[in-house]
């Protein structure tokens, strides 16, 4: 990509990432949540791939790390659901709820949002890498057959 795209990307990628984190952490009091914030954060990494090529993005977050983060998100969500069994019911919100409309409120909802954000963000980025950047090894494997 051209110099203009690279400069603008360097400025905006961190802002997009920060906005995604904001959307995730405020998911229980404003519109948004784990899925929307995860998509925004995945888009910030996709932005990096589009501007600098896949090496620059994979240097920050390689495929094994993406796979591990995605699995971690699923396990974390499952663990939060199991945590409710301590109170007797699956998915029970056992943490203190706090005051309504405050950032530290609503118990396990924030943790659920963070787990969903890990799963969705890593999953979308993995889909994009697999579709756009990982095609050469697949062709080689096809040739060997």
Partner 1 sequence: MSIYILCLILFAVGLYCLLVKRNLIKKIVGLGIMEYAVNLFFILLGYRHNGQAPILDKEQAIVNMVDPLPQALILTSIVIGLGVMALMVAITVRLYEKYRTFDIGEIRRLKG
Residue 97 binding partner 1, by CB under 8 A: no
Query: Rounded distance, CA 91 to CA 142, Å?
Result: 45
Name the 3-class secondary structure at 128. helix
Residue 67 binding partner 1, by CB under 8 A: no
Which H helix or E strand runs over 66? Answer: helix 63-83
Residue 104 binding partner 1, by CB under 8 A: no
Q: Which two tokens stand for residue 73?
A: 């998100």
With CA atoms as reference, report the closest residue to 29 among 91, 104, 128.
Answer: 104
Site for partner 1 in 14-43 (CB under 8 A): 30-31, 35
Shortest CB 10 distance to partner 1, Å: 28
Which residues of the chain form contacts with partner 1 (CB under 8 A)? 30-31, 35, 100-101, 124, 127, 130-131, 135, 138-139, 142
């Amino acid at each position: 990509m051209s110099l203009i795209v690279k400069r603008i990307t360097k400025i905006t990628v961190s802002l997009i990432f920060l906005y995604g984190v904001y959307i995730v952490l405020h998911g229980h009091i404003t519109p948004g949540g784990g899925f929307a914030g995860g998509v925004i954060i995945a888009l910030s990494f996709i932005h990096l791939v589009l501007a600098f090529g896949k090496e620059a993005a994979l240097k920050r977050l390689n495929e094994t790390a993406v796979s591990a983060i995605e699995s971690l998100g699923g396990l974390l969500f499952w663990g939060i659901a199991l945590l409710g069994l301590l109170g007797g019911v699956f998915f029970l919100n056992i943490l203190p709820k706090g005051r309504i409309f405050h950032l530290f409120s609503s118990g396990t909802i924030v943790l659920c949002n963070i787990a969903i954000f890990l799963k969705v963000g890593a999953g979308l980025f993995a889909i994009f890498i697999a579709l756009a950047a990982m095609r050469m090894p697949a062709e080689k494997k096809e040739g060997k057959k």
